[in-house]
């Protein structure tokens, strides 16, 4: 399925669905999250339109001369868990990262009818090809952690936690657990 | 005595920083291909195929395999007959890292102070481990270590009474907790024995050994195989989406320890486990005196 951010009604997406993003996503990881949440706490606006926005947890490699961006795969999402709820409240609808989320984040995803997507961790070379434009939006001093506006084409991801809170990490693992010492 | 200039070490570090971020080691590439055949989940199979494609793209077009081009870990084995000449060794290593990261447009991921967190903007310093060994050569291992997986690592001081079962349980618990976070399929380095700092180093050293090479001691090799099989029963699967391949390999290093202790360290690494090595002999890296 193709998704064109800003995202509107995405309740029909189900955990495990394969999607392709077409359009704008914003980058933000650890240091940028701290700043974005601080802005919201002070009653200020985010540096990009929050309603329906998609945030991609990534700190790309710099672009070589003549190129758009270097290697650009997802970073571990759980480091953003404690800073995610204020962004969901501000209207963010989609997050792209890798790995599991906390129960608090899953509850927030259900409440705000948002979706968490997993991109391929460690496939930075492959994913960089889907980024067609990159523009600095905020915090240039953060270097790889600055906020960038990315225009993507056919950017692949999996619905990892859907708006009902179903998680591929929990369901997928249950399906393939094979007893053994820990779960025997 | 053999003289080896640190300039040659700097050049070797430079080359290996670049090459390791573009080229997956042969043992890991082979294991990924085998995994894509063995994986039972169709989504998992698809993920593995894309990861293999990523590694081909990185190699052919000189794009970093992963945007986390890591913190550089260097293992130096210096022959005791070698005298190093020129620039101070650690400066030379860091210059090699700095130039490689600048020239290759790799990401600078190092903060100068762990609490203040100001980026050094050149990916230095490296973490350097030295060992003095017999001989007249210098062996250099360079490994960029990503932190998605490093963060999932753990160390525990077990009681001797917990024994082998305790070791297995701790390794499995660590990997189960890590789940989909460290970019599975993982490669696991385990250290057993020594002291608290020694066991952590053993776990890192274990990651430098090709995964198709068993430990020389049969009982340790059999534990490597057993743990790999147990980890793959956890169901984590490629990227944590569920599947039968959660890890590509388990390498263990052991060391004598105290009668009162059983230290165990688990160093988690991802499917982009990068390392290269080079040996400088007086004839290719220095002058025989």
For position B86, what pLDDT does the model report? 96
For position A178, what pLDDT does the model report? 85
Sort strands B154-158 and B2-5 into parallel, antiparallel or unpaired.
Answer: unpaired
Calculate how close chain A gets to B25, using CA atoms only, in Å: 15
Q: Could you give the percent of chain B with pLDDT greater than 90?
A: 97
Residue A174, chain B, CB below 8 Å: the answer is yes
Question: How many Å apart are CA B111 and CA B132, to the nearest integer?
Answer: 30
Q: Per DSSP, what are the bridge partners of residue B249?
A: B187
Judgement on whether residues B80 and B175 belong to the same structural domain of the protein: no
Domain spans, chain A: 7-177
Per-position DSSP letters for B233-273, written without gaps between them: TS---GGGSS-S-SEEEEEEEEEEE-TT-EEEEEEEE-S--
Residue A184 has pLDDT above 70, yes or no: no
**Mutation test of the interface with chain A: which of B144, B172, B241, choosing the one with the most A Cβ atoms within 10 A?**
B241
Helices (H), B39-71: 42-61
Q: Which residues of A are catalytic?
A: 33
Average pLDDT over residues A135-153: 95
Question: How many Å apart are CA B135 and CA B2, to the nearest integer?
Answer: 9
Average pLDDT over residues B185-201: 98
Q: What is the pTM of this model?
A: 0.95
Judgement on whether residues B212 and B95 belong to the same structural domain of the protein: no
Place of tokens 């970093």: B64
Place of tokens 């005595």: B1
For position A181, what pLDDT does the model report? 84
Residues of B in contact with A59 (CB under 8 A): 67-68, 107, 109
The pLDDT-based confidence of B288 (bands split at 50, 70, 90) is: very low
For position A25, what pLDDT does the model report? 98
Which of A58, A168, A177 has its CB closest to that of B235?
Answer: A177
Q: What is the mean pLDDT of chain B?
A: 96
Which of A59, A168, A173 has its CB closest to that of B235?
Answer: A173
Question: How many Å apart are CA B250 and CA B268, to the nearest integer?
Answer: 10
Judgement on whether residues B224 and B261 belong to the same structural domain of the protein: yes
- Condensed to tens digits (0 to 9), the pLDDT of residues B6-39 reads 999 999 999 999 999 999 999 999 999 999 999 9
Model ipTM value: 0.93
Which of A16, A62, A183 has its CB closest to that of B107?
Answer: A62
Judgement on whether residues B237 and B169 belong to the same structural domain of the protein: yes
Within 80-109 of A, beta carbons closer than 8 Å to B belong to 98-100
**Mutation test of the interface with chain A: which of B67, B118, B121, B242, choosing the one with the most A Cβ atoms within 10 A?**
B67
Question: How many Å apart are CA B73 and CA B89, to the nearest integer?
Answer: 14
Q: How many CA atoms lie within 13 A of B266 on its CB side?
A: 30
For position B167, what pLDDT does the model report? 98
Distance of CA B117 to the CA centre of its chain: 24
How many helices (DSSP H) and strands (DSSP E) are in chain A? 6, 7
Average pLDDT over residues A112-127: 97
Residues of A in contact with B153 (CB under 8 A): none
- Condensed to tens digits (0 to 9), the pLDDT of residues A48-90 reads 999 999 999 999 999 999 999 999 999 999 999 999 999 999 9
Judgement on whether residues B164 and B249 belong to the same structural domain of the protein: yes
Judgement on whether residues B111 and B161 belong to the same structural domain of the protein: no
Residue B287 has pLDDT above 50, yes or no: no
Residue A179 has pLDDT above 90, yes or no: no
CATH architecture entry for A7-177:
Alpha-Beta Barrel (3.20)
Residue B181 has pLDDT above 90, yes or no: yes
Burial annotation B66-90 (CB, 10 A radius, 16+ → b, else e): bbbbbbbbbbbbbbeebebebeebb
Q: Does B54 fall in a domain?
A: no
Q: Is cis: bond before B266, omega within 30 of 0?
A: no
For position B286, what pLDDT does the model report? 52
Size of interface A-B (CB pairs under 8 A): 182
Domain that holds residue B197: 148-269
Residues of A in contact with B240 (CB under 8 A): 98-100, 118, 168-169, 172-173
Residues of B in contact with A120 (CB under 8 A): 47, 50-51, 54, 239
Q: Among all residues of chain B, which has the CA nearest to that of A183? A: B234
Judgement on whether residues B138 and B9 belong to the same structural domain of the protein: yes
For position B285, what pLDDT does the model report? 54
Residues of B in contact with A176 (CB under 8 A): 40-41, 235, 237, 242-244
Residue A56, C-beta contacts closer than 8 angstroms, at least 6 positions apart? A25, A26, A27, A28, A74, A95, A96, A97, A119, A150
The pLDDT-based confidence of A183 (bands split at 50, 70, 90) is: confident
- Condensed to tens digits (0 to 9), the pLDDT of residues B105-145 reads 999 999 999 999 999 999 999 999 999 999 999 999 999 99
Q: Does B109 fall in a domain?
A: yes
Judgement on whether residues B210 and B89 belong to the same structural domain of the protein: no
For position B289, what pLDDT does the model report? 39
Average pLDDT over residues A125-152: 96
Domain count, chain B: 2
Judgement on whether residues B116 and B240 belong to the same structural domain of the protein: no
For position B168, what pLDDT does the model report? 98
- Condensed to tens digits (0 to 9), the pLDDT of residues B85-116 reads 999 999 999 999 999 999 999 999 999 999 99
């Amino acid at each position: 399925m193709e998704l064109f951010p800003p995202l509107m009604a995405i309740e029909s997406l189900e955990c495990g669905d394969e999607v392709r993003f077409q359009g704008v996503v914003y980058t933000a990881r650890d240091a940028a999250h701290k700043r974005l949440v601080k802005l919201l706490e002070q009653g200020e606006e985010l540096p990009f339109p929050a309603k329906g926005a998609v945030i991609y947890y990534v700190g790309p490699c710099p672009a070589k001369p003549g190129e758009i961006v270097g290697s650009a795969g997802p970073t571990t999402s759980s480091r953003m868990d404690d800073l995610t709820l204020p962004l969901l409240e501000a209207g963010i609808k989609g997050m792209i990262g890798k790995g599991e989320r906390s129960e608090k984040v899953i509850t927030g995803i259900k409440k705000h009818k948002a979706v968490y997507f997993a991109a391929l961790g460690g496939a930075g070379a492959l994913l960089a090809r889907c980024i067609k434009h990159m523009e600095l939006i905020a915090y240039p001093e953060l270097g790889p952690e600055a906020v960038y506006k990315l225009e993507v084409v056919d950017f692949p991801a999996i619905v990892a936690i859907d708006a009902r809170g179903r998680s591929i990490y929990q369901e997928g693992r249950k399906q393939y657990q094979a007893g053994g010492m820990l779960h025997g | 005595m053999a003289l080896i200039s640190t300039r040659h070490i700097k050049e070797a570090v430079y080359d290996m920083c670049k090459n390791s971020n573009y080229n997956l080691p042969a043992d890991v590439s082979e294991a990924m291909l085998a995994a894509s055949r063995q994986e039972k989940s169709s989504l998992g199979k698809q993920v593995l195929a894309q990861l293999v494609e990523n590694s081909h793209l990185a190699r052919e077009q000189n794009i970093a395999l992963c945007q986390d081009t890591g913190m550089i870990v260097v293992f130096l084995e210096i022959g005791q007959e070698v005298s190093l000449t020129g620039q101070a060794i650690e400066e030379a290593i860091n210059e090699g890292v700095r130039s490689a990261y600048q020239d290759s447009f790799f990401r600078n991921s190092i903060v100068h102070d762990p609490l203040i967190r100001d980026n050094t903007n050149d990916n230095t310093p490296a973490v350097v481990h030295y060992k003095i060994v017999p001989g007249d050569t210098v062996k250099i291992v360079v490994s960029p270590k990503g932190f998605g997986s490093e963060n999932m690592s753990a160390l525990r001081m077990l009681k001797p009474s917990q024994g082998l079962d305790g070791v297995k349980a701790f390794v499995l618990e660590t990997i189960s907790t890590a789940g989909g976070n460290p970019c599975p399929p993982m490669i696991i380095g385990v250290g057993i024995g020594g002291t608290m700092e020694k066991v952590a180093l053993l776990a890192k050293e274990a990651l430098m050994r090709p995964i198709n090479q068993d430990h020389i001691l049969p009982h340790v090799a059999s534990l490597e195989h057993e743990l790999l099989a147990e980890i793959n029963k956890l169901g984590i699967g490629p990227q944590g989406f569920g599947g039968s391949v959660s890890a590509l390999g388990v390498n263990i290093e052991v060391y004598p320890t105290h009668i009162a202790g059983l230290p165990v360290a688990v160093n988690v690494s991802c499917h982009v486990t990068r390392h290269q090595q080079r040996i400088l002999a007086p004839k290719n890296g220095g002058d025989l005196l």
